[in-house]
Structure 1
Amino acid sequence: MPRLLLTGANGFVGKILTGRLQQAGYEVVALGGTVSPVLGSADDYLSCDIRDAQALAQAVATARPTHVIHLAAISHVPTSFKDPLLTWQTNVIGSMNLLEAIKQQAPEAFTLFPSSSEVYGAAFKSGIAVTEDNLPAPLNPYAASKVAAEYAFREYFRQGLDGVIARPFNHIGAQQSADFVTASFARQIALIEDGQQAPVLKVGNLEAIRDFLDVQDVCDAYIELLKLKGSPDHPVCLNIASGQSRKIRDVLDLLLSQSSAQIIVEQDPDRLRPSDIPIAAGNSTLLKQTTGWQPAITLETTLSQLLHYWRAQVKTAN
């Protein structure tokens, strides 16, 4: 049975991906940080700070992986502005530590590095769906750190490690932190319905257009990409996108349509990002040609599940 080391296993995607990987036949070793214990249903658990090169090398040696997915990161853009040093230390040095550990302890392992569509940054301003040929032009510390980490992975791939870089677009779903836009909307609606928040929903820029994916579809794409292990001349970098960008205002309207509460929408200046771009559209033709993957879950279904999740969370908290 293939044995997969999953960093960032405590995160939104990591917790969901663990189960999906097991269903696909992988033995999952979940690696979490030192602050809180790894939760979930993995086959084995390890803890270390990925900024600690020695501890991470020991973790990789213990895991003996045939595959690695490196999710661990500071992934919240506002946090990257507030604490850029932590962001770079985690996302770049942490990635370098992992690559060196794989090179020394598990050189035959296939490594998937989920980067981010955020790396395209200013390239989105053309208004055309970006492909992997568009050069990165990051507009925030998080995106810049992901570009730097990508180059580290490319260098180790050039030296002989096998792996691939993915650039997923905005993935959403139940269990995502309310720090992110759709989860914030759903949580506020649930609080308003339960009488715990005044009937005013605070929002940022509703005119921005984004490509939203269900987290389950993104997990499917990751599992398909793992199958490239040992394939000659496979692409190094692939977008994961739905190809159907939606205005955030329309996404909010879909959520509001699922509630009977009378809700006023009000812009909150604190929720406006300094480098917001009008349109982020992605082209995932290369991924579809390479793996056959395509998204299967509609946005309406995702939002319904998201709102149901937050209603349950609000009730449980009472």
Structure 2
Amino acid sequence: MAGRTVVVTGASAGVGRAVARAFGEQGASVALLARGRRGLDAAAAEVEEAGGRALVIPVDMALATRVEEAAERVEKVLGPIDVWVNSAFTSVFARFPDVTADEYARVTTVTYLGCVNGTRTALRRMRPRGSGVVVQVGSALGEASVPLQAAYCGAKHAINGFTAAVRMELRHERSDVAVTVVQLPALNTPQFSWALSRLPRRPRPVAPVYQPEVAARAVVYAARHPRRAEYRVGASTAGTVLAHRLAPALLDRYLARTGYDAQQTDERARAVAPHNLWEPLDGPRGRDYGTHGSFDQEAADRSPYTVAARHRLLLSAAAGAALVTARALRTRAART
């Protein structure tokens, strides 16, 4: 990646920040797009310390014209965009009836349409040149949903359908531009500290939990090998997705019963907690939240299990894991 220009959205914290630093370690010029200036400045320092070149551009990915302006600046300062990574998102932890129409629309606009805006802007430059890679940062929840995150699950499902359609169009054109998706497991990011939550207890990632650097390595790998339609990180991601396909009713029943507790700690939530749905918490008056969340003690820093969606050998292993999961769910369901 040395000498290449990479754009990372959602680069101020969490996965996006880990991805930006990983590309910096490869010697890339990295444009950092997000809303929070304090987080962006800290991320830029990490990219340059790792050996890359950083360009900070504060932008809300929900605003298509601003995203286009950001891309123009990137190419003027750093050169033609080679890789575009769509990682920006926001979420609400709550039962669907407790999420207002405006809140639901905001999650959808940032998480789904932000990805659409980024992809459109990237392809507008890559298609005429006949080169470039777009990497969508997806989620296992884009195929197998959980309760209490209806807006986020819906947006991630939408990204999968949108990306598949765009990929078909590029193939029809015989374009050398590639679009791929990296489906991620639960990660230890600041999301659980700054997302809007109406849960009685503090939100948490569903175990098993991985560190953001695991995701970052997968994204860099996907950018280098983009011809695979999809990558899945972590055995839990592949196993859950395949279990949902093999025994959807059983998995849904299991998650309906366990999904509430699995997404909350034992600690009571604050009565009024700040959140980043409308404004960044790492803005000029805020603080830098970093890459990691508060679950370092349980988060794994590596996963040997990254699956290319069309790799038959690894998919066979994943199918075996899914069958075991489905049988376990069937047994538990029979006891209830």
TM-score band, normalised by shorter chain: 0.5 to 0.7
Q: Measured at CA, do residues 46 and 225 of structure 1 come closer, stay the same or move farther in structure 2, by a change above 3 Å?
A: same
Of 136, 157, 164 in structure 2, the residue corresponding to residue 154 of structure 1 is 164
Tell me which amino acid in the other structure corresponds to 2:65: Q
Contact 2:93–2:149, Cα closer than 8 Å, also in 1: no
Q: Once superposed, what is the RMSD of the aligned Cα atoms?
A: 4.2
**Structure 1: any 5+ residue segments left out of the alignment?**
125-136, 181-201, 254-264, 271-281, 294-318
Amino acid at match of 1:89: T
Give the corresponding residue for 1:67: 83
Q: Percent identity?
A: 10
**Which residue number corresponds to residue 253 of structure 2?**
none
SS of equivalent to 1:166: strand
Q: Is 1:113 aligned to 2:124, yes or no?
A: no
2:40 aligns with: 38
1:165-211 CA deviation, whole Å, 9 max, x = no partner? Answer: 111010116x665358xxxxxxxxxxxxxxxxxxxxx95799x9633
Matches within 5 A, 1:163-178: 163-172=179-188, 177-178=192-193
Q: Deviations over 1:212-235 (max 9, x none)?
A: 212222211111111114xxxx33
Deviation at 1:102, TM superposition (A): 1.4
SS in 2 for 1:219: helix
State the aligned residue count. 229
Q: Helix, strand or coil: the match of 2:12?
A: coil
Q: Describe the superposition over 1:64-111 as per-residue Cα deviations: whole angstroms up to 9, x where unpaired.
A: 310011111114544984510101111222222222211212332201
Find the aligned partners of 2:310 and 2:160 in 1 and give their Cα distance.
22
Identify the residue that residue 236 of structure 1 maps to in structure 2. Answer: 229
Distance in 2 of aligned mates of 1:13 and 1:144: 20
State the Cα distance separating 1:8 from its structure 2 match.
0.6
Q: Is the 8 A contact 1:57 1:101 kept in 2?
A: yes
Q: 1:49 to 1:60 in 2, by over 3 A?
A: same
Counterpart check, 1:54 vs 2:65: yes
- Does residue 221 of structure 1 match 2:250? no
Question: What amino acid sits opposite 1:239 in the alignment?
Answer: R
Checking the alignment, whether the CA contact within 8 Å between 2:59 and 2:70 is kept in structure 1 is: yes
Q: Gaps (5+ residues) in structure 2?
A: 48-53, 75-79, 171-176, 240-257, 272-302, 315-336
Distance 2:186 2:140 in 1: 8
Q: TM-score, normalised by structure 2?
A: 0.56
**More RCO (CA 8 Å, sep 6+):** 2
* Amino acid in structure 2 at the alignment position of 1:7: T
Shift of the alpha carbon at 1:288?
9.4
For residues 93 and 79 of structure 1, the distance between their equivalents in structure 2, rounded to whole angstroms, comes to: 22
SS in 1 for 2:89: coil
Q: Are the aligned partners of 2:10 and 2:87 in contact in 1 as well (CA < 8 Å)?
A: yes
Map of 2:115 onto structure 1? 95
Amino acid at match of 1:240: V
How far apart in 2 are the matches of 1:287 and 1:214?
A: 20
- Structure 1 counterpart of 2:166, one-letter code: Y
Taking the aligned partners of 1:203 and 1:102, their CA distance within structure 2 comes to 40
Q: Are the equivalent residues in 1 in contact too, given 2:30–2:55 (CA < 8 A)?
A: yes
Q: Is the 8 A contact 2:92 2:152 kept in 1?
A: yes
What is the CA-CA distance between 1:56 and the residue it aligns to?
A: 1.1
SS in 2 for 1:15: helix
Which structure features the higher share of helix residues? 2
Match of 1:15 among 11, 14, 17: 17
Aligned mates of 1:267, 1:94 — CA distance in 2: 32
Distance (Å, rounded) in 2 between the aligned partners of 1:114 and 1:266: 30
